[in-house]
Amino acid sequence: MNSETYREIESARKSVRWGALEMAALVLLLVGAVAFFHGIYSGSAERAWNAYLINFVYWTGLASGTLLLSPILVITNGAWGRPVKRLAESAALFLPVSFVMLWPLFIAREKVFWWVLDPEPQKAFWLNTQFFFAREGISIFVLAAVAVSLVYHSVKSDMEYLSGNDRNLSSRSNAQLKLSTAYVILYAFILTVIAIDFMMSLNRQWYSTLFGAYYFAVSFYGGLAALILISAFAVMNMGLSDLIGKKQFHDLGKLLFAFCVVSGDFFYVQFLVIWYGNKPEETRYVLARIKEDPWSALAWAVLFIVFVVPFVILLLRKIKMKPFLMTLVSLWILFGIWLEKFLLVAPSLLKTKVLPLGILELLITLGWLGLFSFCILWFLSRYPAVALSDPLLGKAIEPKEEAAQTI
Q: What is the pLDDT of residues 41-87, one digit of tens each?
A: 998 999 999 999 999 999 999 999 999 999 999 999 988 999 999 99
Instruction: From 398, 349, 406, select the one nearest 5 (Cα to Cα).
Output: 398
d(CA 184, CA 180): 6
Domains in the chain: how many in total?
Answer: 1
- Residue 404 in domain: no
Residue 137 included in any domain:
yes
Alpha helices in 77-210 (DSSP H): 82-89, 94-107, 109-112, 129-162, 169-198
Q: Tell me which H or E stretch contains 322.
A: none
DSSP 296: H
Q: Looking at residue 2, what is its pLDDT?
A: 59
Where the chain has pLDDT below 70, the residues are 1-3, 398-407
Give the pLDDT of residue 402. 43
In a domain, 405, yes or no: no
407, part of any domain: no
Residue 264 located in a structural domain: yes
Assess if residue 402 is contained within a domain. no
Q: What is the predicted pLDDT for the residue at 134?
A: 97
Range of the domain at 263: 3-397
Residue pair 272/264 in contact by the 8 Å Cβ criterion: no
Is-contact 157 180, C-beta < 8 A? no
Between the alpha carbon of residue 27 and those of residues 36, 154, 211, the distances in Å are: 14, 31, 35
Q: What pLDDT does 3 receive?
A: 65
Collect all residues with Cβ–Cβ distance below 8 Å to 372 and sequence separation of at least 6.
Answer: 59, 62, 63, 94
Nearest to 26, CA basis, from 365, 375, 335: 375
Q: What is the pLDDT of residue 113?
A: 95
Is 403 a domain residue? Answer: no
Question: In this structure, are residues 70 and 154 in contact, taking their beta carbons and an 8 Å threshold?
Answer: yes
Rounded to a whole number, what is the distance in angstroms from the first to the last CA of the chain? Answer: 21
Decide if 253 is inside a domain.
yes
The model carries a pTM of: 0.94
73-107 burial string, b = 16+ CB within 10 Å, else e? bbeeebbbbbbbbbbbbbbbbbbbbbbebbeebee
